C-alpha cells in the first residue's frame, strides 16, 4: 500500500473509531482496566523518497559574439558535438583584419624609430663624455630614446587590441558539448552580446528537485534509480546524489536535492521530465505499532502509557507492514501504546 493510501486508511479508521467512542459516551473506555495496550517493537527500515524534476545538462552556456557584425559562416551545424575551443561561427572580419595589419605596421615603424633613437643616444653619450655636446643637446637625445620606447609600447598595445578584435570575430566553444540551438543561415546582422547559440554538455545529466523536510536524512553519495518519462519506455538508470542544499526553500519549506546521471542511456533526454527514487545507504531503526494504536486527528499520534499516566506522542507514518505500521517519533523500546485510545486520552485528540 502506498504511503498516501495508508494515510487515508488510517484517517478514515480514526474517524470511525471516534464516532463509536462518542456514541458510547464521553468517558467510555477511560478506565485503565478497560484499556487495551501493547508494547511497541522496533524494525529495520531503509528509507526511500521520490524526487520529481527535469533532467538538465551537466553544463550549458548561451553564446554570442563580443562584437557586432554580419555572420559570414556557420561552421558547426545544430546537433553537432564540438570540442572545447572549436570554432562555431564567424563574422565578416575583413575590416578587423585590415586594422590588425595596420597595427602591426605601426609597431614595425615604432621599433625602427626606436632603433634609430638608440643609435643617436649612443653617439650622444660618447660626445658628451668627450665634452663635445651641450647639456641641452644631451637631454634632447635622451628624451628621444625614452619617447621611442614609449611609442613601441603603445604600438604593441595597439597590436594586442587589434588581434583581440580580430579573434572576437570567430566564436569558439568554451566547453565541450553539443550545439543544440543556433541560426539557420549566415548573413544575419547581430549586435554585441546577442545570444545566438546554445551549447550543452550532454555527457551527464542532472536532476534537480526537492523533498519534504522530513526526508532530510538524504546525504550526498546516496544511490537513486531514475525512471524515463519517454512514452512507452520503462528504462531506468542509476544515479547518485551529488548535492543537498543545507537550507529549506523559504516558500515551499522543502529540501533542494540534485542527482547526477553519468553517460545517460537512450530514453533519458535533456529537459525531459523524470522521476527518481532515492535510497538511504543503511537501514535505520524505526518503531512498529498496530494500526489500531494510531490516531489520525489532528495529526498522526499514538498514546503511550507511562505508569498511571498517558501521553500523546506525535509520529510520522512511514509504511504499512501487515497488521502494523512503521512510524518515526519519540518512542523507545519498552514503551506501551494504547489500542483504540479514547478521545482526549493523553491530551487533546
Percent of the chain with pLDDT over 70: 90
Q: pLDDT tens digits for 89-144?
A: 999 999 999 999 999 999 999 999 989 888 888 888 888 788 777 888 888 888 88
Q: Cell 586594422 belongs to which residue?
A: 99
Residue 309 and residue 276 in contact, taking contact as beta carbons nearer than 8 Å = no
Binned at pLDDT 50, 70 and 90, residue 32 comes out as: low
The contacts of residue 256 (CB under 8 Å, 6+ apart) are 208, 209, 210, 244, 245, 247, 249
**DSSP at 182:** -
Q: What is the pLDDT of residues 279-326, one digit of tens each?
A: 888 888 899 999 999 998 788 999 999 888 999 999 988 888 888 999
Q: Which domains does the chain have, with CATH numbers?
A: 3-45+283-339 (2.40.420.20), 49-59+200-279 (2.40.30.170), 60-93+171-197 (2.40.50.100), 94-167 (1.10.287.470)
Please name which of 65, 260, 258, 30 lies closest in space to residue 170, comparing C-alpha atoms. Answer: 65
Amino acid at each position: 500500500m502506498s504511503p498516501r493510501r495508508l494515510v487515508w486508511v488510517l484517517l478514515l479508521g480514526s474517524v470511525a473509531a471516534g464516532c463509536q467512542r462518542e456514541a458510547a459516551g464521553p468517558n467510555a473506555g477511560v478506565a485503565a482496566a478497560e484499556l487495551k495496550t501493547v508494547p511497541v517493537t522496533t524494525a529495520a527500515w531503509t528509507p526511500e523518497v521520490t524526487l520529481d524534476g527535469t533532467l538538465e545538462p551537466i553544463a550549458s552556456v548561451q553564446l554570442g559574439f563580443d562584437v557586432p557584425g554580419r555572420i559570414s559562416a556557420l561552421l558547426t551545424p545544430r546537433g553537432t558535438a564540438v570540442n572545447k575551443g572549436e570554432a562555431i561561427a564567424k563574422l565578416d572580419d575583413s575590416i578587423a583584419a585590415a586594422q590588425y595589419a595596420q597595427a602591426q605596421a605601426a609597431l614595425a615603424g615604432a621599433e625602427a624609430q626606436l632603433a634609430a633613437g638608440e643609435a643617436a643616444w649612443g653617439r650622444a653619450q660618447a660626445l658628451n663624455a668627450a665634452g663635445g655636446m651641450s647639456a641641452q643637446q644631451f637631454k634632447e637625445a635622451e628624451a628621444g630614446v625614452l619617447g621611442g620606447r614609449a611609442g613601441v609600447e603603445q604600438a604593441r598595445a595597439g597590436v594586442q587590441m587589434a588581434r583581440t578584435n580580430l579573434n572576437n570575430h570567430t566564436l569558439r566553444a568554451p566547453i565541450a558539448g553539443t550545439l543544440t540551438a543556433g541560426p539557420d543561415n549566415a548573413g544575419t546582422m547581430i549586435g554585441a552580446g546577442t545570444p545566438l547559440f546554445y551549447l550543452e554538455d550532454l555527457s551527464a545529466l542532472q536532476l534537480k528537485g526537492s523533498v519534504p523536510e522530513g526526508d532530510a536524512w538524504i546525504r550526498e553519495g546516496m544511490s537513486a534509480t531514475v525512471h524515463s518519462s519517454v512514452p512507452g519506455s520503462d528504462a531506468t538508470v542509476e544515479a547518485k546524489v551529488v548535492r543537498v542544499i543545507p537550507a529549506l526553500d523559504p516558500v515551499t519549506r522543502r529540501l533542494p536535492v540534485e542527482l547526477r546521471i553519468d553517460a545517460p542511456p537512450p530514453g533519458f533526454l535533456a529537459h525531459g521530465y523524470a522521476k527518481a527514487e532515492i535510497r538511504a545507504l543503511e537501514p535505520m531503526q524505526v518503531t512498529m505499532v498496530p494500526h489500531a494504536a494510531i490516531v489520525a486527528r489532528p495529526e498522526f499520534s499514538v498514546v503511550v502509557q507511562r505508569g498511571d499516566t498517558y501521553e500523546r506522542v506525535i509520529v510520522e507514518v512511514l509504511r504499512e507492514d501487515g497488521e502494523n505500521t512503521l512510524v518515526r517519533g519519540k518512542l523507545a523500546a519498552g514503551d506501551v501504546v494504547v489500542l483504540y485510545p479514547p478521545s482526549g486520552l493523553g491530551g487533546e485528540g
